[in-house]
Amino acid sequence: MKVKETANRLLEEISPFFEKWEFKLNKQQREFKRAVGECTQIIAFFFYKKGNYITIKPEIRIQVKSIVNIYKANTSIKGRPYCCLGNHLFEILRYIDEGVEHGFRKKAVADWLVRDEGSINKLIEVIPTYLEETILPYYDQNSSLSRVDEVLNKKPREMSIHNYLYPLRANVAIIAAKLNGNPKYEELIGIYEEELEEAEDTYKGEFYRLKKYLRNYCLD
């Protein structure tokens, strides 16, 4: 089985169901998107060959336009993701089922494996169920600026299922705190500075550029 053919087949088959919820398919990027208020909700599928199988990694993400605009205007690191919230689908499933927001499984979550036509048909059947039971509830709960501020800054020293990449998490968190008028903003700045103490200079520089920009940023 070939990756491109498998990806096209799967995405085309599930596309009508996603369209019912107003998601649009970008076949080249292998992702579905829809706009809700100032948020963009993204469901991405990463396909790659692994041994005799094709592996599919499903991720769901939320982008908040006001956060992304500030981030993009202040970063110099090419190829940086601009995800505000999101993770592997099965980490989000654990969050939905168990309410676990911080920390991760000791063993990585599993991706989908495509062995044959039967595997593809099974995924075509189950992915819409994941959309209704896991993905849409996560989007409904978390697609807002205030929610990004809440989930990333509630326990700033702990890893977050909602955004586990440093320094991306710290950068998104301070932007959200500033835009949301979080009264603990200055305290959060200090905490993230400490957490990034051992980070590479390139990444620390990104954080300090944002800090300087936000110092002079006026809320409407």
Beta carbons within 10 angstroms of residue 4's beta carbon: 9
Angle between helices 201-215 and 185-195 (to 10 degrees): 170
Alpha-carbon torsion angle 101, 106, 107, 111, nearest 10: 20
pTM for this predicted structure: 0.91
φ and ψ at 56, to 5 degrees? -120, 120
User: Look-up: residue for tokens 């809700």?
Assistant: 36
What residues does each domain of the chain span? 3-63+86-142, 145-215
- Kind plus residue range of the DSSP H or E element containing 220: none
Instruction: For residue 60, give the 3-state DSSP assignment.
Output: strand
Quote the CA–CA distance of 73 and 198 in Å, as a whole number. 25
φ and ψ at 23, to 5 degrees? -85, 140
Q: What would the pLDDT profile of 114-139 be if each residue is shown by its tens digit? A: 999 999 999 999 999 999 999 999 99
Q: What would the pLDDT profile of 198-220 be if each residue is shown by its tens digit? A: 888 888 888 999 999 999 876 65
In eight-state DSSP terms, residue 134 is: I
